[in-house]
Chain A
Amino acid sequence: MSTDPQKQVSRPISRRDVLKSSSAGFGYLALAGLLGQQQASQAQSARARSPLEPRAPHFRARAKRIIFLLMEGAISQMDTFEYKPALQRNDGRPGPGGGTLVGSKFQFSRHGQTGVAISELMPNIARHVDKFCFLRGLHTDTPAHPQAVMQLHTGAANATLVRPSMGAWLLYGLGTENQDLPGYITVNPSPNFGGAANYGSAFLPAHFQGTRINDTGYMPNLRAQTERSLQRRQLDLIQGMNRDLQAAPGAPAEIDGVIQSYELAFRMQDRVPELLDISREPQHVLDAYGVKPGPAGSFARQCLMARRLSEAGVRFVEINQGGWDHHTGLHQGMIRGCEAVDKPTAALLADLEQRGLLEDTLVLFGSEFGRMPTAQGVDGRDHNITGYPMILAGAGVKKGYSYGATDEYGLHAVEGRMHTSDLHATLLALLGLDHKELTYRYAGRDFRLTDVSGNVVQEIFA
């Protein structure tokens, strides 16, 4: 399947099409019937004015949406995806930047056609290695979680001016494919490390911010308490009051966001309950992801929700597995953490591929920074911001490809170096947006996700 819109028209209608188009489907028809023509057209014109309408990209989009699997706390690349024979050989010797080198205690073996070495902790993800486009030369600015997590999400870690998150910029640039759903959903985000700023819209209008849901997919108050025509009438009254306030002097800036959120909420009542109900999936799918209750099954549930949300057209879905900050207890911690993410991540990739979603969905896997090749204590690794990898897979990127490299121990990025701003520029480009053109005027200047830097790494484009 191509991303060329012309070609998409000719393919048969799929389940996804039905899911995505139901905003004008049964719910809407029923609504129109109940409301009478005049109100229906009001509701429709409110939608036409929506700033979340899909918008054309700056240039050809290679991907339509992103699923970001955040490994918050910094997963040890030395024990998963960065195989460094020199590190293994020099285990116990002094490192080039001080400290004592410590090789991984886990076995690496080569996988797929590309023969990339992956550790035994990720046996299921390893099966997909030929789909991957590794970015191996990433680096960032601050070796502290709050700043680095904020920078990964917003491009900056400046305490005095919080900036919009990556997902908010995407919605601002592209709108959303499915008007019945939030265009930006973050599942299970950490309350720390910047909290809501990581999915916030900052000075962008409030309707671009991410909607948070928990890892059970339970969202309260989705069931209308009154008959829908009556609810619509009530909502029109509320919106009338809101627009009056918006027009008044001294109105809070968020009122437009309030108005948009009401319209979206009204539509969500139709779509979201079944969409978030992962128990509707057949047993073999639940098994493939390893869905189970409780914290140990959290990431599996999140992966499955991510697939369902992306399939329904959510532009940016972020899911989160924390607990990787292994200054101590690295060995057991990695075993436990990888057990939680390996199978669900692999199942997500397989599922996306099987449904054709990998053609237009880009998957990003990684952390705010990496960990050191040297030892910290008896069983730990400290933060490393000078060289670490992330993984891309799916729409728009080369398969079985690796860009950039760190030195022989995995300490510093030495080839294909990519700063966080380069990552952002490249992700935007994959979605058809020019990071230099995607600007928003605030405080007398034009802001962008990449601020004054950022280079698009075209080498990774498929």
Chain B
Amino acid sequence: MNPNQKRVAIFLLAGWILSPQLAVAQPPAVDDAARLEFFERKVRPILANNCYNCHSANNKSLGGLRVDDRNGLIQGGKRGSAVVPGDPEKSLLLQAVHQTGKLKMPPNNKLTDGEIADLTHWIKSGAAWPKVEAPNTSDRYRAKYEKLRKEHWAWQPLQKVQVPTVKDNSWARTEIDRFVLAKLEDKGLTPVKDSERAALIRRVTFDLTGLPPTPEATEAFLADQLPNALEKVVDRLLASPAYGERWGRHWLDVARYGESTGSSRNLPYPQAWRYRDYVIDSFNRDKPYDKLIHEQLAGDLLPAASDKERDENLIATGFLAIGVKDVNQRFPIRFFMDNIDEQIDTVTRSFLALTASCARCHDHKFDPVPTTDYYALAGIFHSTEHCSGLRSMMGGGGLAYYDSSKLLRLTPPAKDTKVDPTLPEKINQLTKAVEAAREDFAAIFGTDKGKEKGPDGRPLQMVARLKMQKLQLELNALTDPSLQGPVALGIRDAKKVGDIELRVRGEAEKLGPVVPRGFLSVINVPGAKPINPAQSGRLELAQWLTHPNNPVTSRVIVNRVWKHLFGQGIVSTVDNFGINGDVPSHPELLDYLATNFVRDGWSNKRLIRTVVLTRAYQLGSEATPAHTAKDPANRLVWRHNPRRLDAEEIRDAALAVSGNLDFRKPENVPSKDFKVIELRNNGPDAQRLHDYAQKSIHRSIYLPLLRGITPRSLEVFDFAEQGMVTGNRETTTVPTQALYLLNDTFVQRQGLALAERLLKRSEMDDKERIEFAYQLALGRDATAKELERAKAYLSQYEADARKVFSKIANQKPATPPKTVEAPAPKKQPGGIVVNPDDVDTSDIPVQEEKIGLTDPRVAAWASFTQAILGSAEFRYLR
């Protein structure tokens, strides 16, 4: 280690982070050719020859400092600005090259007095630097963009549509039905038969709550011959808490919900669950969708009548804070701009089904989003402080990435309100002690003295470091808000708000012209409020999105709802309404739904209720060759699409029918207590999460969902990609799913529990037990053939199992069931600066335990019930 590296290492270790100075000065007028020439002739060679090796984009950029870029110098590294234009006194660069203080640069060398004088002169005269040319490519696209804005269906105002007339007036029950039927009639198609009622209650119960109907509910529905029988079921389901757990999960897919950063360094978001609970609660209370948008984008800027409401508004902004983040970055500005990009991507895809983040580096190649529009939005998020409890740095272990100043304090419970009057003094004392300890450590680290063994046999530098760390932890305990009361992840307006410069080719440091904050020009929203210059502009962005004249937001959400109820959207590409997306199969219906949705107060429950009470929703799933030939993908809704249950539904249904399901929200989830320390996919914390998930009996939405550590029960059935907005999950059919259903301990355990549930019913005989199993798991009666098959299966299996078990018991020596031992957690590589590529992040095999059964009758029943859980019918809805 050369002295320079050593010094940087000390800073990384000690966590001396000055807040990055994001104030960027405009480059001076470049007409002063002489100053530029001076820079090129005198200054750049000094920087290139003495500094680039350690401080440039293509090399190491130690300490987060780049000297090959004007903004890199002005923003500086971890110590702050290296150059303050016009003020040599304040420029750290000069202090370093004078080598009068602690900081001595270049290492092992000193610039000549002449060189120092040139640097000083350059800074004093404004630090001239050649201006970066922003390519004006917008001209290339202007005409194309103008045409698309006027013509592409998605961005046109909502059309006032007439409910179409149809030939067959007896079929349609609702106006929506008329839209559907009219299209079918155009194609010469008629809808298939209505669904059987048993299939219908199963369908609607899963669709609205993610759970199977109970046998009692099915029975009651089948017995209810009144015309409003389904309406009563729907109202009951919409009022149940399970509704929010199902539809909240749909939103969490869109919100790319994840409880960790998920990038090269996976750091937990221990408070992300508050946002999840907020979403569930909001759906259960049927919070209007426009309000939901306002709270998620600008909850911190909304008025609140109570502490509770204020807390809720703050938690809602977690939407913007819980994305994927790459904290392992040298340059704070890149971390900052990457997070802004992630927010823009999430906001535009989720609410507008538009891929605006493509315009970060260049004008959008397909959709009319010029780069200037991107930076108009970026200005809003640039004026926003990201509070996800994290900072970026290059390398670092332990709590190095944790920044407790980036958390939102919530209202503490009443009992905790007493404040220790001596607290400020304690913090003051400790801060001084930490400083002193740090200086002691810095003084001996890497020196011969530091390597000497102390009285306890440990090197003195280690003793000094431990002392420093201990004091730091004590200080953290007094200042970390998460240790003092409830906190949330979210955002707040930055101390400095304002417009920002376009970044040429998306490079964070390459500034182009300033772009006024604003919205996307692709959607014309007459009457939208301009941005309040005193704030970030998030509130006005939310208002623009939900303005009655914005046609896109409402189209996108009603299409998402339609997709979840019919299996495919009216626009099949639910996250992309742009040029590369699909066109609507029923454009008039889409506008009808969107218009009514806004008119009815943006109520999701009302929309869902209206849609499921249509005759179209209640169609059977039969396919005829005639229909299939004309419309194989069922775009026109001549039948109801069969669908495989989502991962959560499969798991929750297994728990529900086994009788194990605990409907309450779990309290003891291990990830809530995680420190903000890097997680390894094969580390002990990941193991704890897997073990927890494997044994949990709560609804799947409450499982810990740290990125890259997806619970197996969810991963195997195409869980949402947590990296970005996911309005449409995949549905694969692969042998890993069959292996899961045959061998996974979770499935085995639910099968056994269901078997025990049946066997406990002493008043039943085996035939009744089989019937009950079919009703519980499949929502229907078993046929005579199925009863016979099941009875034969149980007796044969029991007989075989008896033979096999006795054979095993007679084997000598008796070998206990072998369990696969999880490999011992590997040691985190030591040292201070860790290259993330050297950290083993491979998955750990989940500890596989064996459920050993010894009673042949129980084994037979457990095998039978597990077979039902493994059958295709259990996981497909018709």
What residues of chain A have their CB less than 8 Å away from a CB belonging to chain B? 143-144, 147, 159-161, 182, 191-192, 195-197, 200, 203, 206-207, 209, 211-212, 214-216, 218-227, 229-231, 233-235, 237-238, 240-242, 244-246, 249-252, 254-255, 257-259, 261-262, 264-266, 268-269, 293-296, 327-329, 331-332, 336, 376-380, 442-444
Contact = CB atoms under 8 A, between A and B. Distances in A.
Contacts of B836: 295
Contact of A159 (B582, B622, B797, B873): B582
Output the residue of B734, B801, B846 with the most chain A CB within 10 A. Answer: B734
A257 B733 contact: yes
Interface stretch (B21-29, B505-513, B756-764): B505-513
Contacts of A211: 734-736
Contacts of B621: 249-250, 252
A238 B642 contact: no
A212 B743 contact: no
Contact of A237 (B506, B633, B639, B789): B789
Interface of B: 57-58, 264, 358, 361, 365-366, 504-507, 510, 572-573, 576, 580-583, 620-623, 629-630, 632-633, 639, 642-644, 712, 718, 721, 723-724, 730-740, 742-745, 748, 786, 789, 793, 796-797, 800-801, 804, 808, 820, 826, 836-843, 845-846, 848, 850-851, 859, 863-864, 866-868, 870-873, 876, 878
A295 B263 CA distance: 12
Contact of A241 (B808, B838, B842, B872): B872
B733 A206 contact: yes
B743 A379 contact: no
B837 A294 contact: yes
Contacts of B721: 191-192, 195
Given A442-B632, A443-B632, A230 B863 contact: yes
Contacts of A378: 57
A231 B839 contact: no
A192 to B, nearest CB: 7
A444 B793 contact: no
B691 to A, nearest CB: 13
A21 B264 CA distance: 42
Contact of A245 (B366, B732, B871): B871
Given A250-B623, A327-B505, A443-B633, A245 B873 contact: yes
4 A-B pairs with the lowest CB-CB distances in the bound complex, closest first:
A250-B621, A265-B738, A206-B733, A293-B840
Output the residue of B739, B786, B797, B859 with the most chain A CB within 10 A. Answer: B739
Contact of A295 (B581, B739, B745, B841): B841
Given A223-B848, A231-B742, A218 B843 contact: yes
Contacts of B867: 234, 237-238, 241
Contacts of A214: 843
A379 B58 contact: yes
Contacts of A144: 358, 365-366, 580
A216 B191 CA distance: 49
Contacts of B582: 159-160
Given A196-B732, A235-B742, A250 B639 contact: yes
Contacts of B510: 377
A251 to B, nearest CB: 7
B204 to A, nearest CB: 16
Given A241-B867, A250-B623, 7 more contacts: A195-B730, A220-B740, A242-B871, A265-B739, A268-B739, A332-B58, A380-B505
B839 A294 contact: yes
A377 B738 contact: no
Contact of B744 (A207, A219, A220, A331): A220
Given A159-B573, A378-B57, A269 B730 contact: no
A192 B639 CA distance: 31
Given A220-B739, A230-B801, A238-B871, A252 B576 contact: no
18 contacts: A143-B365, A200-B732, A216-B842, A221-B742, A238-B871, A245-B872, A245-B873, A250-B623, A252-B642, A252-B644, A254-B872, A262-B735, A262-B738, A265-B738, A293-B842, A327-B361, A331-B58, A378-B57
B841 A294 contact: yes
Contacts of A227: 804, 808
Given A159-B573, A159-B576, A327-B361, A264 B839 contact: no
A224 B742 contact: yes
Contacts of B820: 223
Contacts of A296: 837-838
B845 A220 contact: yes
Given A159-B581, A219-B736, A237-B864, A192 B723 contact: yes
A220 B846 contact: yes
A295 B58 CA distance: 22
Contacts of A226: 859, 863
A308 to B, nearest CB: 17
B743 A224 contact: yes
A237 B793 contact: yes
B743 A221 contact: yes
B845 A212 contact: no
A294 to B, nearest CB: 4
Given A214-B843, A220-B740, A221-B742, A295 B837 contact: yes
Given A268-B735, A293-B842, A192 B724 contact: yes
Contacts of A443: 629, 632-633
A229 B800 contact: yes
A36 B842 CA distance: 42
Contacts of B871: 238, 241-242, 245
A225 B733 contact: no
B233 to A, nearest CB: 21
B801 to A, nearest CB: 6
Contacts of A220: 712, 736, 739-740, 744, 845-846, 848
B789 A221 contact: no
Given A160-B572, A231-B742, A250-B642, A294 B840 contact: yes
Nearest to A206: B733
Contact of A196 (B583, B642, B730, B845): B730
A269 B851 contact: no
A152 B70 CA distance: 42
A449 B864 CA distance: 43
Contacts of B581: 159
Nearest to A248: B878
Contacts of B872: 241-242, 245-246, 252, 254-255, 258-259
Nearest to A328: B507
B837 A254 contact: no
B730 A221 contact: no
Nearest to A383: B365
Contacts of B733: 206-207, 209, 254, 257-258, 261
B820 to A, nearest CB: 8
A279 B308 CA distance: 56
A249 B734 contact: no
Nearest to A296: B837
Contacts of B643: 252
A311 B642 CA distance: 39
A191 B742 contact: no
Contacts of B573: 159-160
Contacts of A327: 361, 505-506
B735 to A, nearest CB: 4
Nearest to B790: A237
A209 B740 CA distance: 18
Contacts of A269: 739, 743
A209 B789 contact: no
A230 B846 contact: no
B838 A377 contact: no
Output the residue of B632, B712, B867 with the most chain A CB within 10 A. Answer: B867
A197 B572 CA distance: 15
Contacts of A195: 721, 730
A264 B800 contact: no
Contacts of B740: 220-221
A252 B786 CA distance: 20
A241 B873 contact: yes
